[in-house]
Structure 1
Amino acid sequence: MTCPDTPAPLQALVVLGRGGYGGAVPAEMTRLCERLRQLLPQAHVALAWVDRASPGLPEALDECLRAMPQAQHILVQPAFAPTDAALLRWLEKVAQRWRHRQAQPDALPRVVFGPALAELPQLAELLADQLAQAPALPDVVQNQPEHWHSDPQAWSEVPAFQQHLLLCMGPRCTALGAASLWHHLRARLRGHPQLKRTVMPLHTSCQYPCNLGPLMISYPEGLWWGRLDEAAIDAIVGAGLVPEGAARAHLVHRHGADEPQQPQTGV
C-alpha cells in the first residue's frame, strides 16, 4: 500500500461490495471507504455494489472519471467473500461495456480488478492476529438482551397481503438500475390507496432472464414485468398491476401463456 507521504500516480479505487437488508451493510462499507480515503489522500475512493444496492459498478466508474479524469488506473477491488468466478468475469464485462460507451475509450484510465478478498494473503494473516484479541472481546451472554430466548410475536404471524411483487436485485438487474427502482416502487405503492394494503413488495436475488431486466414478478398472477424504469413502474402500479394500457408494454411473460420475449442488450 502506498504511504500517504509518498508521491504516487493519480489513481482511483472502487470498493465493490454486496448489498443486504437494512442500513447496517451500507454503513459498514461507507466507514471502510472513509478509512481508505484517509490512507489514500491522493486517490479517489468510490463505493459500488454488485447487487441489492446502488450505485452499481458503471455509476462508480463514472464517478471516478469525473473526480479524477487524469487517473492512470481505476482499481476495482472486490470486498466480499466468498466470490464466484463467473460473477467476476461478468463484472469485468460490465467494465468493458462501460468503457465502450465512453466518447474516447482509448483515452480512459486502465480499469483493473484486484484479487478476490479471500485470496489476499494479508486477510488470513489479519484473521490469525484477531485470535490474540479474543480475551478482550465480550462473551455472547453480555451482548444479548434480557429476553434473548424469545422473538417478536409478528415473526410468527402471516401478513394479510394478497399479492407479492418480487423485484429482482441480482447483479445484472442492479447494474441496470434496479436498486433505485426499488425505492421508487415502494413509494408508488405507499401512495396507492388499494395496493398499499394488499401488496407486499420484496427484492430478490437473480430471477433470470437477465437480458429482460430490470425484472419484476407479480404473484399469484404469474406476471413477469421487464425492461423496467420509473415510467414503467408508474404505469404498472397505476394500472393496479394489471397488464392494461401503458403497463402492457412491459409485460414480458405471463405464466401459462406463450408471450414473446425480445432480448435486451446486456449491461
Structure 2
Amino acid sequence: MQSATGISENRRRSRAIVVLAKAAFAAAPHQEMARIADIVAAFAGVGRVVSAFSEQGRPSLRDALHDLLDGQYDAITILPLVLPMEPSFHIWLTKSLKRWQHESNRPWPPVAIARDVARSALMPAVLSELLAEGPDAPVPVPPEAVTEGSLVPAQKRRVLVCEGGPCNSAGADVLWGHLRNEQERLKLRVTGEGTMSAKSTCLGPCNLAPVVQVWPEGTYYGGVNEAALDHIISEHLLEGRVASEHAYEPNGRKQRLRAGCPQSNPMGE
C-alpha cells in the first residue's frame, strides 16, 4: 500500500492528490488528516497523497502544491473536505491557483478541484451510518462556572485581514493562513512590539482586494499576496516602517491597484 507521504515508482504516470481542510492547530487533527490521506493513497492510479490547509496549518495548500511539482505527476487533484463550502470557495481557489502558476518559473501539470463533498450521492448513506452507530455518552452538566480573569494583550500592533466578499473572492483565506503560519513561525506575538491578528468584516477599499490593514498606524495594503505579506511583516511589523510599495494612503479619491501589482493581473495578461 502506498503511504501518505511516499512516492510510487511509477509516479511519472500517476496522479497526486491534495486532501484539503481549512485549519488544524493541534497534533490530533493532523493525525486524522494523515489517516484520511492513507485511505486515498490506496486508490488505483494515485502516486502520492498529501494533506494541506487552506487557512492556518502546515503545510499550506500553496506549499503542498509546490512540493508536488518535484514529482512530475501527470495531474494533481485537490480534494476539499470542507463543510459547509462557501459559494466563494471555488472562486478564490481558482484565482489563487492561476496566480501561483503565473508566479512560478516551473511547469505545472493540470490541476483539478474535486466536487463538493456535501454533493456526493453517498452523503445520505454516510450520515445514516453515523446516526446508526448511536450517540456518544451524554454530555454531563457542568458544575457552577467559575469566573476567570483574562490578560489584556500587551501587543501594540494589530493586523486585520479583510473577509468581505471581494477580498474573499481574491483569496483572503490563503492570506489569513499565511499570516497565521508566519505569526507562529516568527513568534510575532513576542517579537518587536508584538503583533496580534484578526479577521475583519469589510475594510472599505474593495477594489484593492485582498486588503490588509496594520494598526496602530491604520495603514491600508492592497493587492496583497504572500510575497507582499512577507514584506509587510519584515518591514512594518518587525522594523516599524510602512511597506510603501504595497500601501495605499487615504487621498479623498478613488484608487486602483497599481500597474505591476501581482493581484491586478494574476495571469500576466
Larger Rg: 1
Quote the offset at 1:134 in angstroms. Answer: 0.5
Give the AA of the match of 2:96: V
Give the AA of the match of 1:204: K
Cα-Cα RMSD? 3.9
Q: 1:12 to 1:239 in 2, by over 3 A?
A: closer
- 2:207/2:256 contact within 8 Å kept: no
1:1-267 to structure 2, matched below 5 A, reads 10-19=14-23, 25-37=29-41, 42-66=46-70, 68-69=71-72, 71-103=73-105, 105=107, 108-134=108-134, 137-141=136-140, 147-150=142-145, 153-154=148-149, 157=150, 159=152, 161=154, 163=156, 165-168=158-161, 172-173=171-172, 175=174, 177-184=178-185, 187-192=187-192, 195-196=193-194, 201-204=196-199, 209=206, 215-219=212-216, 221-225=217-221, 227=224, 228-240=228-240, 246-249=241-244, 252-253=247-248, 262-263=257-258, 264-266=261-263
Quote the offset at 1:150 in angstroms. Answer: 1.6
Quote the offset at 1:84 in angstroms. Answer: 2.4
Quote the offset at 1:249 in angstroms. Answer: 1.9
Q: 1:225 to 1:21 in 2, by over 3 A?
A: farther
Quote the offset at 1:210 in angstroms. Answer: 8.3
- 2:53/2:59 contact within 8 Å kept: yes
- In 2, distance between residues paired with 1:189 and 1:259? 34
Quote the sequence identity (%).
18
What corresponds to 2:6 in structure 1? none
Report the 3-state secondary structure (helix = DSSP H, G, I; strand = E; otherwise coil) of the residue aligned with 1:165: strand
- In 2, distance between residues paired with 1:239 and 1:104? 33
Q: 1:93 to 1:202 in 2, by over 3 A?
A: closer
- 2:18/2:78 contact within 8 Å kept: yes
- 1:17/1:78 contact within 8 Å kept: yes
Q: 1:99 to 1:191 in 2, by over 3 A?
A: closer
Q: 1:61 to 1:20 in 2, by over 3 A?
A: closer
What corresponds to 2:4 in structure 1? none
**Structure 2 unaligned blocks of 5 or more:** 1-9
- 1:14/1:60 contact within 8 Å kept: yes
- In 2, distance between residues paired with 1:261 and 1:22? 40
- In 1, distance between residues paired with 2:179 and 2:153? 26
Quote the offset at 1:257 in angstroms. Answer: 7.1
Give the AA of the match of 1:183: E
Report the 3-state secondary structure (helix = DSSP H, G, I; strand = E; otherwise coil) of the residue aligned with 1:153: coil
- 2:232/2:242 contact within 8 Å kept: yes
Q: 1:126 to 1:167 in 2, by over 3 A?
A: same
Quote the offset at 1:49 in angstroms. Answer: 2.2
- In 2, distance between residues paired with 1:169 and 1:28? 30
**Structure 1 unaligned blocks of 5 or more:** 1-6, 241-245
